[in-house]
Amino acid sequence: MGFHNVQFPVGQTYGTEGGPGYETRIIETTSGAEQRIARKSQPRHQFDAAHNVRTISDISEILTFYHARRGAAASFRYKDWGDYATTSTLCTHDGSTVSDTDAIIGNGDGSETQFQLVKSYADVGFGVTRTITLPVANSVVIALDGTSQASGWSVNDTTGIVTFSTAPTAGQQVTAGFEHDVKTRFSKEVDVDGLRRVIQAHEMHEIPSIPLVEVINETPIPDTFWHGGASPDTALTADVTITLAQGMDHTYSPASGETGHAILLPDVSTMPDGGPHFYIHNEGVESFDIEDHAAVTIVTVTASKGVICSVSRDAVGDKTWRTMKSA
């Protein structure tokens, strides 16, 4: 059923439990040495929203919302009271207000008119940039090089993309402030086992647990094993960046005259050792390059050839891309 642009009953979200996670896999040997594999670049939130459900009217409100979503079939907005704004405290119910310079969302180049809302969590040189797809539309404020922009732009409240009527000039810093929701769904346990209710007495009702899970990507990804299936044969008309989530097997067909294009691999430091991780085929008539995330060419793939890409270690132990071309 996709996404319903409605919010989980906000009065029921006070007192909820939950927060972000990265699903890091830890492989530990008996000696204590360990390998840590970060499975997600974006945090995934999980919540239990049952704490405040106590009365008949509470039960009725939750049941109506649950049935309207067909259980876990449709996702929806959820207000995370601990992290819903770009302020320094990550909220506004403490009296803080968002500022149009809270978050850097891009830099102008004179032609680009669309910028994705993002939110950064940085600490002593390290951090994560979180993609925000569900801004609260009337909360968004925008600035260019620190100057507030009251008009000349719009924001899509289901994608988080800001569109300018005139492209920011080259080098102009685009910043934003906003409140936002989290795209969530009911967990499969609630859908399969049912939304369990406890009726203790005439005016004493409760729902012991309402687990909710953040929806990161609603586009179905074929999955034959851990890191995906195959992408369709694609015409190559510009540089393309690929990720593990897009599958293992990639085929590109650059037409005559389509030269100078490249396939960019993920940052090798974020990848697990071993492989192969990608099979990249050239079914076109022109060559293309395979580059690392810094746009350094690793290998050139000529027509009707293919390359296997895996992650190895160099002489000093750093991760590096290794490729093997077909004959």
The per-residue pLDDT for range 88-109, each reduced to its tens digit, is: 999 999 999 999 999 999 999 9
pLDDT (tens digit, 9 = 90+) per residue, 127-156?
888 999 999 989 999 999 999 999 999 999
Determine the longest span between alpha carbons in the chain, in angstroms.
77
166 and 52 in a single domain? The answer is: no
61 and 108 in a single domain? The answer is: no
Contact 229, 249 (CB under 8 A): yes
36 and 67 in a single domain? The answer is: yes
147: in domain: yes
Q: Which of 135-149, 226-240, 290-304 has the lowest mean pLDDT?
A: 226-240
227: in domain: no
Task: Using the Cα atoms of residue 80, residue 219, residue 240 and residue 229 in order, give the sign of their dihedral.
Answer: positive
Query: Does the pLDDT value for residue 224 go beyond 60?
Result: no
Pairing relationship of beta strands 240-241 and 262-264 according to DSSP bridges? parallel
Place of tokens 């968004």: 140
Cβ atoms within 10 A of the Cβ of 297, count?
A: 10
CA distances from 309 to 97, 130, 279, 290 (A): 48, 28, 6, 10
Per the structure, the complete domain to which residue 285 belongs is given by 240-325
Give the pLDDT confidence score for residue 284 in this predicted structure: 94
Q: Which of 73-87, 119-133, 162-176, 289-303 has the lowest mean pLDDT?
A: 119-133
CA–CA dist 109, 116 (Å, integer): 15
Strand, helix or coil at 105? strand
130: in domain: yes
- As a whole number, the mean pLDDT across the chain is 87
CA–CA dist 18, 81 (Å, integer): 11
**Total number of residues shown for the chain:** 327
Q: Which of 75-84, 265-274, 289-298 has the lowest mean pLDDT?
A: 265-274
200 and 71 in a single domain? The answer is: yes
Give the pLDDT confidence score for residue 151 in this predicted structure: 95
Give the pLDDT confidence score for residue 233 in this predicted structure: 86
Give the pLDDT confidence score for residue 89 in this predicted structure: 94
* Domains of the chain: total: 3
Contact 182, 134 (CB under 8 A): yes
197: in domain: yes
Domain boundary among 161, 180, 199: 180
Strand, helix or coil at 83? coil
pTM equals 0.64
169 and 189 in a single domain? The answer is: no
Query: Does the pLDDT value for residue 223 go beyond 50?
Result: no
Contact 87, 96 (CB under 8 A): yes
Give the DSSP H/E element, type plus range, for residue 56: helix 56-68
Burial class of residue 175 (count of CB atoms within 10 Å of its CB; 0-12, 13-18, 19+): buried
Query: Does the pLDDT value for residue 251 go beyond 70?
Result: yes
pLDDT (tens digit, 9 = 90+) per residue, 185-213?
999 888 777 777 776 666 666 777 889 99
b/e per residue 98-118 (b: at least 16 CB within 10 A): bbbbbbebbebeeeeeebebb
Give 154's strand partners. Answer: 163
Give the DSSP H/E element, type plus range, for residue 276: strand 274-282
Q: Which of 124-128, 219-223, 244-248, 322-326 has the lowest mean pLDDT?
A: 219-223
pLDDT (tens digit, 9 = 90+) per residue, 6-50?
999 876 666 678 889 888 888 887 888 887 777 777 788 999 887
Give percent of the chain above pLDDT 70.
91
